[in-house]
Chain A
Amino acid sequence: MSTDPKKLPGADPHTGNREIDPVTGYDTTGHDWGGIKELNTPFPKVALVALALTVAYSVIAWVLLPAWPLGRDYTRGILGLDQQEVAEERLRDLATLRADWLGRFEDPDFTALSNDPELMGLAMPAADRLYQDNCSACHGRAGGGGPGYPVLHDTYWLWGGAPDDIAVTLQVGINAAHPDTRWAQMPAFDWMEDGQLSALSGYVAAMPSDEADPDSEAATLFTENCVACHGEGGAGGLMNGAPSLVDDTVIYGQDEESVMVSLRNGRQGVMPYWSERMSDAEINALSLYVSRLPDDGAVDRTETPQASEGSAAEATQ
């Protein structure tokens, strides 16, 4: 079969046209692909105009911006833009904006700063972003804690709840990789016999409700093994990371089973240190923010998390 349309059977010998499509008025190319035909429609001008416009856009971009490689170099573009410089400049602008208020947190008098409503209006929303982006994953959106993670909006603190104390905890962490980190460990009492562990767990679990029997064998075990860290009568408050055992604030839970797990395996939760990630001023603003989280006036029992085996954190506020 010849491919010259003029020689095809039925074709117009001058134009090669074989059939005219009644809808568009154009002839077909003469091809027939299993029933599919193609119209000889002339090239639409709008497509050429569009192509010209996009090419013009591209050429302008190539002239203005870095675009074409030239061996080991490239065309710089007449705007002379460098994406790293542009980004750094914008970051500098933002840092300048922040310096006005953040600078006052470099070496803060927290009481004075708290009494400056204008400053607080700028700093506390910013500190909230820092808190939500860095702390809320463990401590909760509103500071409510979670299984193994301390509540921040109550009045109970292991390492102190004043802004200065919180700032130190943020700077060095707890059981963290920082050389000056706060350190605390609940050792494993796995050497005790099962009966002793069981008695001691029951005793500790009964302490918050004041139902622990002071004359029992477990009370002796408690005095010999626990008081050194948890304080006389388990009252805590020694700023050593060991929680009070009388007011139901243990983040791993204080029911008998949870206490048993803590006794058998020990606990050593970690709070990371933030001095490499945040500036001193940011840490101070954040400390003030955390100290101002609305205290609910009492120990919040509803949000005190239940025991969780293998939790990563420790009662270390």
Chain B
Amino acid sequence: MLQRTSRARLADAVSPWFVLIGFNLFCVWAATGYVMGQTQSKEYAEPEWYADLWLVLVWVTYFVVYIRTLARRAEPHIYVANWYYMAFILVVAMLHIVNNLALPVTWGSGESFTIWSGVQDAMIQWWYGHNAVAFFLTAGFLGMLYYFLPVRAQRPIWSYRLSILSFWGIVFFYMWAGSHHLHYTALPYWVQTLGMTFSVMLLVPSWASAGNAIATLNGAWHKVRDDAVLRFMFVAAVFYGLSTFEGSFLAIRPVNSLSHYTDWTVGHVHSGTLGWVAMIVFGAIYSMVPKLWGRNDMAWPKAVEWHFWLAIAGTLIYVVSLWNAGITQGLMWRAYDEGGALSYSFIESVEAMLPYYAARTLGGGLFLAGALLCALNCRATMRAAGNRVDEADRPLATQPAE
């Protein structure tokens, strides 16, 4: 995408491979760390210091490759998707480094102590955690949306101005919002209020992005109807709008007093990851794979349609059941009888989860079945590679810039 929208080759031949292999090596270390108990007990930041240092190396290389490629672009400006990618790479590096500052117990040991203490540690962790969602799971994927959606729909971006407002709004407001993860804790009240209010203001640029994406489909609605790939992207934009509304809503302190520590939070996260992140990724995969293997279409076009309905049914069942589960939990935990005693024991709230967790398993199963179908479809497409050259491919020969 960066190469297409900048009309420039990647800046280096070796370092992109280093980034690819290095990042996957980090993932292996992180995943084995979970299994073997080698973690520093920070949510989304579990890997220990040696893996963290390695990731810094990989990520800085990533940033250098990205910036050098961007610097040699043949377009006078930078496309909005590339702004999002730049924010994604830069901010993730910043978050990762600050939250993982730690002193190893010894150089030969996997354990370490964080340099932050007490409530500062909690605040740094959730500044990190929330912006990991913002810049990893949002900015990076908005970049994908801003590329694949207009390309697939063959429509211009609805509003250039709106895309600029959304970008700076999201980048600015998200930075303040992390403290809404720590409502009603030892974190000072004033930090909670700031986190709450900035989370509410964040709704506007978030919806501006979602609305811009959906309005871009004006004039291409027949394609949304007929093309499951474009429908994936449309649904992703809708779920992006839904999850960001829900996020701002849950960040309001009194709402949070009901939802916090319940499965509502889990449902919210999955409406973002399954409904938004995964859907746009599926749309991107189905756009890229035929192109890369020189075909007009996936090998099994009908399987794409099946995947779409499996994914959307799975996501809806999953998310709706967890909404119900979370609200049920929240109401049961806060209920007191007329004598001032708790109305329910904790185990009763666990038992009440049975139907919701059963539905959740079903929803997750449907979603996973769709993803497996996608993987098989990709394999079949790759094995039936053609030799079509994309008409949109244009020579990379640089044109005189300004």
Contact = CB atoms under 8 A, between A and B. Distances in A.
Nearest to B216: A39
Interface in A74-129: 74-75, 77, 81-83, 87, 93-98, 100-101, 122-123, 125-126, 128-129
A21 interface: yes
B184 interface: yes
Contacts of B208: 47
B347 interface: yes
Contacts of B162: 41, 43-44, 47
Interface residues of B, number: 59
B345 A36 contact: no
Given A57-B200, A58-B198, A39 B158 contact: yes
A1 B197 contact: no
A17 interface: no
Nearest to B7: A34
A66 B190 contact: yes
Nearest to A4: B402
Contacts of A132: 345-348
A81 to B, nearest CB: 7
Interface string B200-230: 1101100110010000001100000000000
B22 interface: no
B79 interface: yes
Interface string B360-402: 0000000000000000000000000000000010100001111
A28 B197 CA distance: 36
A36 B204 contact: no
Interface stretch (B52-60, B88-96, B111-119, B334-342): B334-342
B147 interface: yes
Contact of A61 (B196, B218, B402): B196
A97 B158 contact: no
B32 interface: no
A41 B402 CA distance: 26
Contacts of A66: 188-190, 193
A6 B394 CA distance: 25
A166 to B, nearest CB: 19
A54 B159 contact: no
A298 interface: no
B400 A1 contact: yes
B340 A23 contact: no
B139 interface: no
A29 B218 CA distance: 18
B119 to A, nearest CB: 13
A40 interface: yes
Given A38-B160, A43-B161, A58 B219 contact: no
Given A39-B157, A44-B162, A126 B341 contact: yes
B156 interface: yes
Nearest to A76: B190
Interface in B254-293: none
B200 A58 contact: yes
Contacts of A23: 155, 218-219
A54 B156 contact: no
B163 interface: yes
A36 B151 contact: yes
Given A36-B151, A58-B201, A41 B159 contact: yes
B34 interface: no
A35 B193 contact: no
B181 to A, nearest CB: 16
Given A54-B204, A82-B189, A40 B196 contact: no
B219 A42 contact: no
B100 to A, nearest CB: 25
Interface string A1-44: 11100000000000000000111100011010111111111111
Contacts of B75: 31, 33
A147 B23 CA distance: 47
Nearest to B400: A1
Contacts of B161: 40-43
Nearest to A59: B197
B5 interface: yes
A192 interface: no
Given A33-B75, A39-B159, A47-B162, A95 B340 contact: yes
A100 to B, nearest CB: 7
Contacts of B342: 126, 129, 133
Given A125-B337, A128-B345, A133-B346, A44 B159 contact: yes
B345 A133 contact: yes
B357 interface: no
A83 B188 CA distance: 9
Contacts of A28: 156
A55 interface: yes
A122 B196 CA distance: 39
B300 interface: no
Given A43-B165, A129-B344, A133-B347, A62 B193 contact: yes
A82 to B, nearest CB: 7
B160 A39 contact: yes
B104 interface: no
B68 interface: no
A44 B7 CA distance: 31
Contacts of A41: 158-162
A73 to B, nearest CB: 10
Contacts of A31: 75, 77, 79, 160
Contact of A98 (B76, B156, B198, B339): B339
Contact of A141 (B159, B189, B347, B399): B347
Contact of B201 (A1, A39, A55): A55
Given A36-B147, A47-B208, A24 B340 contact: no
A51 B204 contact: yes
20 contacts: A1-B76, A1-B400, A21-B156, A23-B219, A31-B75, A34-B4, A40-B160, A41-B159, A44-B159, A47-B204, A47-B207, A57-B197, A66-B188, A66-B190, A68-B194, A82-B189, A94-B336, A94-B340, A97-B339, A122-B339
Instruction: Give the 6 A-B CB pairs with smallest separation, nearest first.
Output: A97-B340, A132-B345, A23-B219, A126-B341, A58-B197, A34-B4
Interface of B: 4-5, 7, 75-77, 79-80, 147, 150-151, 155-163, 165, 184, 188-190, 192-194, 196-198, 200-201, 203-204, 207-208, 211, 218-219, 336-348, 392, 394, 399-402
Given A33-B79, A41-B159, A83-B192, 5 more contacts: A1-B400, A42-B161, A55-B201, A81-B189, A129-B341
